[in-house]
């Protein structure tokens, strides 16, 4: 039932020296989302300003004395959860502290800090710090569900650096629960349900099995999580993690969260190797009692946070709604695979 559609064609131009040239373009339709993306292979020949090496840290990377998320001020400068959710006002686990978002995006909107450093370069956080932060998010969402059983549309996200939409440089995750689904939640819920009714099997498991058999875009596994390059990416170097057979927050084991943290760090190290310093992450959760939609996390690199670096979104993405990238997912997979091999992961130690 899954269709991996590709259309290849050439755009003919005449180069400045008078020679004709055929520029290859490929349009792919993603079997999960039905959305198209355009791979403009010739753009890979362009110079990408600011990505030759990893840019220097932001100029405010050392401003600990002004940061409300740093340990010295977190207890006095951040808001507190209402007592019906947490009597202490903030939730702690290891080096992670969780508190409500001062500028919430929904009914239940919180921030989960990880690491006590003010600035953590992409790919250098410790495994334990990410694990603690994810488990703190898990615990918060379970409290929300116990308090408000209608807040079933949940998400854990990350915006690393201002180029990815981050307003605070101190490392943190965002966590949200609401009674109203976001567009992606609404679409995926319906798509997974329709697919299960038509086939009797789960959408993401079938997609994963196809990709494992193909091998073209399958990167590797960490614990029970399986990682792959998206067939029709909607962002640069887009990587998915899928946890097959698990459709609810309540089913995710502590070891699964640790494996997720390791996979996230693997992807970050891959992005770092590309000279990129900003990225987004999103894990959507649906707690409506159905088991059609399994867990999927999406990671995507963003344009660097550095002077004179162009945005990764152009009028084509914003106005036409098609992602225009220049790297084939198969190449993303090939370049990312080594970061899922233990022999090249020296920074997985518990301390930097």
pLDDT band at residue 344 using 50, 70 and 90 as cut-offs: very low
pLDDT band at residue 44 using 50, 70 and 90 as cut-offs: confident
Question: Taking Cα atoms as reference points, which of 160, 177, 130 lies closest to residue 305?
Answer: 160
Mean pLDDT value across residues 241-254? 97
At residue 210, the pLDDT reads 97
Of 320 and 161, the one with more pLDDT: 161
Which contiguous run of DSSP H or E holds residue 128? helix 127-147
pLDDT band at residue 348 using 50, 70 and 90 as cut-offs: very low
DSSP type of residue 123: T
Q: Give the whole-angstrom CA distance, residue 193 versus residue 204.
A: 11
Domain residues of the chain, as ranges?
Answer: 69-307+328-341
At residue 201, the pLDDT reads 97
pLDDT band at residue 345 using 50, 70 and 90 as cut-offs: very low
- Judged against a pLDDT cut of 90, whether residue 104 lies above it is answered with yes
Question: Taking Cα atoms as reference points, which of 50, 132, 19 lies closest to residue 312?
Answer: 50
pLDDT band at residue 315 using 50, 70 and 90 as cut-offs: confident
Residues 53-80: pLDDT tens digits? 888 888 888 888 889 999 999 999 999 9
At residue 343, the pLDDT reads 44
Of 273 and 59, the one with more pLDDT: 273
Mean pLDDT value across residues 214-223? 97
What are the strands, taking DSSP E only, across 35-187? 36-40, 91-93, 96-100, 108-113, 153-160, 172-178
DSSP 6-21: EEEEEEEEE-TTS-EE
At residue 321, the pLDDT reads 83
CA angle 182, 183, 187 (to 5 degrees): 120
For 191, residues 6+ apart whose C-beta sits below 8 A from its C-beta are 32, 33, 34, 203
Of 303 and 179, the one with more pLDDT: 179
At residue 54, the pLDDT reads 86
pLDDT band at residue 50 using 50, 70 and 90 as cut-offs: low
Of 184 and 318, the one with more pLDDT: 184
Residues 252-271: pLDDT tens digits? 999 999 999 999 999 999 99
| Secondary structure class of 225 (helix, strand, coil) | strand
At residue 172, the pLDDT reads 96
At residue 1, the pLDDT reads 77
- Judged against a pLDDT cut of 50, whether residue 351 lies above it is answered with no
| Average confidence score pLDDT of the chain | 92
pLDDT band at residue 320 using 50, 70 and 90 as cut-offs: confident
At residue 47, the pLDDT reads 67
- Judged against a pLDDT cut of 50, whether residue 108 lies above it is answered with yes
Mean pLDDT value across residues 2-15? 95
- Judged against a pLDDT cut of 50, whether residue 302 lies above it is answered with yes
For 29, residues 6+ apart whose C-beta sits below 8 A from its C-beta are 3, 5, 6, 35, 36, 232
pLDDT band at residue 49 using 50, 70 and 90 as cut-offs: low
- The architecture that CATH gives domain 69-307+328-341 is 2-Layer Sandwich (3.30)
| Secondary structure class of 74 (helix, strand, coil) | helix
């Amino acid at each position: 039932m899954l269709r991996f559609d590709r259309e290849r064609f050439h755009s003919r131009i005449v180069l400045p020296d008078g020679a004709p040239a055929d520029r290859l373009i490929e349009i792919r339709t993603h079997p999960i989302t039905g959305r198209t993306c355009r791979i403009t292979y010739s753009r890979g020949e362009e110079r990408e300003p600011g990505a030759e090496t990893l840019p220097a840290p932001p100029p405010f990377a050392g401003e600990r004395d002004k940061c409300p998320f740093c340990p010295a001020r977190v207890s006095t400068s951040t808001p507190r959860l209402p007592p019906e959710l947490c009597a202490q006002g903030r939730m702690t686990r290891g080096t992670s502290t969780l508190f409500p978002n001062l500028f919430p995006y929904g009914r239940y909107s919180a921030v989960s800090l990880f690491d006590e450093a003010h600035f953590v370069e992409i790919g250098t956080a410790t495994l334990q710090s990410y694990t603690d932060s994810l488990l703190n998010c898990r615990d918060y969402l379970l409290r929300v569900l116990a308090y408000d059983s209608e807040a079933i549309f949940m998400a854990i996200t990350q915006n690393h650096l201002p180029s990815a939409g981050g307003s605070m440089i101190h490392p943190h995750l965002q966590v949200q629960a609401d009674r109203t689904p976001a567009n992606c939640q609404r679409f995926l819920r319906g798509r997974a349900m329709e697919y299960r009714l038509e086939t009797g099997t789960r959408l993401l498991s079938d997609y994963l099995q196809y990709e494992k058999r193909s091998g073209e875009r399958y990167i590797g596994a960490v614990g029970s999580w399986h990682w792959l390059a998206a067939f029709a990416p909607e962002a640069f170097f887009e990587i998915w993690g899928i946890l097959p057979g698990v459709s609810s927050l309540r089913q995710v084991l502590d070891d699964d969260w640790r494996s997720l943290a390791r996979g996230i760090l693997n992807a970050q190290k891959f992005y770092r190797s590309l000279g990129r310093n900003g990225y987004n992450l999103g894990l959507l959760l649906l707690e409506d009692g159905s088991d059609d939609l399994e867990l999927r996390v999406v990671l995507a690199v963003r344009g660097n946070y550095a002077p004179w670096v162009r945005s990764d979104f152009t009028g084509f993405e914003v106005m036409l709604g098609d992602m225009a990238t220049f790297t084939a997912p198969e190449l993303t997979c090939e370049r990312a695979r080594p970061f899922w091999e233990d022999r090249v992961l020296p920074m997985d130690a518990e301390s930097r």
